[in-house]
Amino acid sequence: MESLLSTDDALRLLRTVFGHSAFRLRQDEVIADLLAGRDAMVLMPTGGGKSLCYQIPAMMRAGVGIVVSPLIALMKDQVDALRQCGVRAACLNSTLDFEEVRSVEAAVNGGRLDLLYVAPERLLQERTLEWLGRQTIALFAIDEAHCVSRWGHDFREEYLQLSVLHERFSSVPRIALTATADQATRREIITRLQLDEANVYVHGCDRPNIRYAISDDENGRERLWRFLQSEHPADAGIVYCLSRKKVEETAEWLRARGRDALPYHAGLSDHTRRRHQERFLREEGVVIVATIAFGMGIDKPDVRFVAHLSLPKSIEAYYQETGRAGRDGLPSSAWMNYGLKEVVIFRQWLAESEADEAYKRVEHQKLEAMIGLCELPTCRRRAIRAYFGEEPGEDCGNCDNCLNPPQTWDGTETARTAMTCVSRTGERFGVNYLVDVLIGKDHARIRDWRHDRLEVFGSGVEHSAPEWRSIFRQLVAQGCLRVDADRFDALRLTDQSFPVLRGERSLTLRRLRRAAPVKKGKSAVAATPFAGTDEALWQALRRTRTALAKEQGVPPYVVFHDTTLRELVRLKPARLADMERIQGVGESKLRKYGEVFLRVVREHMPAERNSG
Ligand code: ADP
Ligand code: ZN
């Protein structure tokens, strides 16, 4: 009887099946809702523990829990991870052959399944809906629920039709989950999925373990290299680039320098993409260089860094992409370097897009907000929190601006010089030409245009060319200059130029930040490394994990997360009973792997404890 289901039982499952000691955030309240047959809507940051909110009630309630997810590539790993914990799970999607489908259906018909992952297009087939109509359904979980939002970056047509679940299975509780927190999307999810009666759980979007850093260096790739060498010399991570070409080039460049880097973009064959993704998931230390086609549904918990070599088109996109780092809660980096070029490209795309005006206006605002975040001289995390409608809180102490506050200066005079140069040369030249005029460079093109006779010619020698380019980038970012959509890189004045030119408005600019030298020794971000025998034990545990994973054809983290292995190093359990207390060790995994890992720990014990 459902009324007998209690959160005490839920806690028992959390401990024995998943090996966690207590519920996090408000997982227990969400679970209580579903157990009582109520709907819920959960916004939790990536890595917050959304899955357990429906997995546990699906195991407790009568019937099978249906999980709708657009991420077919991810389903197998999710199912594998559940099976490792002894949960009866399966998936239904286009990758299964006829026999496999038959056997999954038979398991559901026989009441032998707790959780079934289904792609939305599959679920919405009349045949599937009819079949489910004859089953006992524990609940529907709609994962990545923001896909229902038309203006979101992951819109899926089929998600709009998911309201059918409410209409056809009105007594089955539903839970919608997403990590995308902005208010408009939230409202859209509620209306479109008819979740008006759902209890809404909103958790701060903050990811305190991620360190944010944004720069606009001219040589992004070199800067990336310094960052990787100093902070993540052997870690797995993702590098995002805007174009396929840049993906290919960057991957090759990193490989030439000795990193295990693989490209990933829509122009590669399915086979190649799959192989690269597999290597990223199943091996240690692989770097994926990708367009944004990569990442949706990458559940790898130990992605230690996400680097952007170009500007994301909105803070939502930036946050979702960087959110793929550090799902396991260990220290991780979100690093980005951008250039004026991408600002230009995005603005041009928008100008030329055939989309309706309302859409363009929203996209434009989102882009401007993203640029604003880049230009910000103060705490990035506070700005992100404020953007998502949260209390911004204190300065975080874990972003570039907190750790190394940028120097600012009154750039009003300089901005005026730059704008005058734009205006006197007729608003038809790009940054490089304008800079040449300002520093008084002698070349034919300038002479041809007779710009060497202008008063501004050579009037900016107090700044170097890179400094001037940084100044122009900032002026564009602040909206005091704009890039002409018709003439690819020509800078033009804007409405906001005039108050500055007339001396009615002053401008604060950032000083060009010199790249930090590569630090020797301990990295600020990397999780505390182990010393001596502990390091040897850590490596041995990782090797054991990889071997066990390989045998079963699953990613290593499905066996144990890094957090569990780190605990093993720290606590060095001697008996199964000690090991059981460690995070991530449930009954099923204890049975399967307990002895193997205990043996590894024993082999690495200092001699005196071995003999004693
Ligand atoms: P999300 O789907 O919100 O990104 P997951 O459900 O994948 O997050 O959970 C992220 C990680 O947190 C997983 O490794 C999971 O095992 C762990 N986790 C979830 N709930 C708890 C808990 N109550 N205690 C400890 N770890 C938890
Ligand atoms: Zn900060």
Strands (E), 315-438: 332-337, 408-410
Q: How confident is the model at residue 528 (pLDDT cuts 50, 70, 90)?
A: low
Query: What stretches of 410-531 show up as alpha helix (H) in DSSP?
Result: 412-424, 431-438, 444-448, 465-477, 497-501
Q: Which residue type is seen at 497? A: S
Strands (E), 505-607: 508-510
Q: Ligand 1: does its nearest atom lie under 6 Å from the Cβ of 209?
A: no
Q: Ligand 1: does its nearest atom lie under 6 Å from the Cβ of 320?
A: no
Atom number of ligand 1 nearest to Cα 45: 3
Which residue's C-alpha comes closest to atom 18 of ligand 1? 49
Q: Can you give 243-258 as a three-state secondary structure string?
A: CHHHHHHHHHHHHHCC
Q: How confident is the model at residue 607 (pLDDT cuts 50, 70, 90)?
A: low
Half-sphere exposure of 284 (CA within 13 A, CB side): 17
Which residue's C-alpha comes closest to atom 27 of ligand 1? 49
Q: Residues with Cβ < 8 Å from 501, sequence gap 6 or more?
A: 416, 419, 420
Average pLDDT, the chain: 88
The pLDDT of residue 526: 55
- Model's pTM, two decimal places? 0.74
- Whether residue 519 is predicted with pLDDT greater than 70 in this model: the reply is no
Q: How confident is the model at residue 499 (pLDDT cuts 50, 70, 90)?
A: very high
The pLDDT of residue 466: 85
Ligand 1: residue of 11, 16, 24 to mutate (most ligand atoms within 8 A of CB) is 24
Q: Ligand 1: does its nearest atom lie under 6 Å from the Cβ of 24?
A: yes
Closest CA to 146 of 163, 128, 159: 159
Look at 330 and 473; give whichever has higher pLDDT.
330
The pLDDT of residue 608: 53
Distance (Å) from CA 299 to ligand 2 centroid? 26
Ligand 1: residue of 18, 41, 55, 177 to mutate (most ligand atoms within 8 A of CB) is 18
Q: Ligand 1: does its nearest atom lie under 6 Å from the Cβ of 51?
A: yes
φ and ψ of 552, to 5 deg? -100, 0
Q: Percent of the chain scored above 70 by pLDDT?
A: 94
Q: Ligand 1: does its nearest atom lie under 6 Å from the Cβ of 47?
A: yes
Tell me the average pLDDT across 180-193.
83
Ligand 1: residue of 7, 16, 51, 53 to mutate (most ligand atoms within 8 A of CB) is 51
The pLDDT of residue 521: 41
Q: How confident is the model at residue 584 (pLDDT cuts 50, 70, 90)?
A: very high
- Mutual angle of helices 412-424 and 431-438, in 10-degree steps: 110
Q: Counting Cβ atoms within 10 Å, is residue 448 exposed (0-12), middle (13-18) or buried (19+)?
A: exposed
Distance (Å) from CA 581 to ligand 1 centroid? 17
The span from the CA of 263 to the CA of 245, in Å, is 10
- Whether residue 1 is predicted with pLDDT greater than 50 in this model: the reply is no
Q: Percent of the chain scored above 90 by pLDDT?
A: 60
Q: How confident is the model at residue 354 (pLDDT cuts 50, 70, 90)?
A: confident
Q: Of the given ranges (105-114, 372-381, 517-526), which has the lowest mean pLDDT?
A: 517-526
Q: Residues with Cβ < 8 Å from 97, sequence gap 6 or more?
A: none
Q: Ligand 1: does its nearest atom lie under 6 Å from the Cβ of 586?
A: no
Q: Residues with Cβ < 8 Å from 290, sequence gap 6 or more?
A: 238, 239, 240, 241, 247, 263, 264, 265
For CA atoms 166, 168, 174, 180, the dihedral sign is negative
In angstroms, the Cα distances linking 524 to 183, 518, 519, 530 are 34, 12, 9, 15
The span from the CA of 206 to the CA of 388, in Å, is 10
Q: Residues with Cβ < 8 Å from 90, sequence gap 6 or more?
A: 79, 104, 107, 113, 115, 116, 117
Q: How confident is the model at residue 206 (pLDDT cuts 50, 70, 90)?
A: confident
- Whether residue 478 is predicted with pLDDT greater than 50 in this model: the reply is yes
The pLDDT of residue 17: 96
Q: Which residue type is seen at 410? A: D
The pLDDT of residue 525: 56
Q: Which ligand neighbours the alpha carbon of 383 most closely?
A: 2
Give, as one character, the DSSP assignment of residue 399: B
Look at 131 and 517; give whichever has higher pLDDT.
131
Q: Helix or strand or coil: residue 560?
A: coil
The angle formed by the CA atoms of residues 177, 179 and 181, to the nearest 5 degrees, is 105
Tell me the average pLDDT across 381-402.
88
Which residue's C-alpha comes closest to atom 20 of ligand 1? 49
Q: Which residue type is seen at 146? A: H
In angstroms, the Cα distances linking 516 to 223, 225, 227, 250 are 9, 12, 9, 21
For CA atoms 423, 427, 431, 434, the dihedral sign is negative
Report CA Rg, the chain. 27
Q: Which domains does the chain have, with CATH numbers?
A: 2-202 (3.40.50.300), 210-401 (3.40.50.300), 408-510 (1.10.10.10), 533-611 (1.10.150.80)
Residue at token pair 């199964």: 576
Distance (Å) from CA 215 to ligand 2 centroid? 14
Strand 408-410 relative to strand 508-510: parallel, antiparallel, unpaired? antiparallel
Q: Ligand 1: does its nearest atom lie under 6 Å from the Cβ of 203?
A: no
- Whether residue 151 is predicted with pLDDT greater than 80 in this model: the reply is no
Q: Note residues around ion ligand 2 (Cβ under 5 angstroms).
A: 379, 381, 396, 399, 402
Distance (Å) from CA 21 to ligand 2 centroid? 31
* β-sheet bridge partners, residue 118: 68, 92
Tell me the average pLDDT across 468-490.
79
Q: Helix or strand or coil: residue 261?
A: strand
φ and ψ of 109, to 5 deg? -55, -35
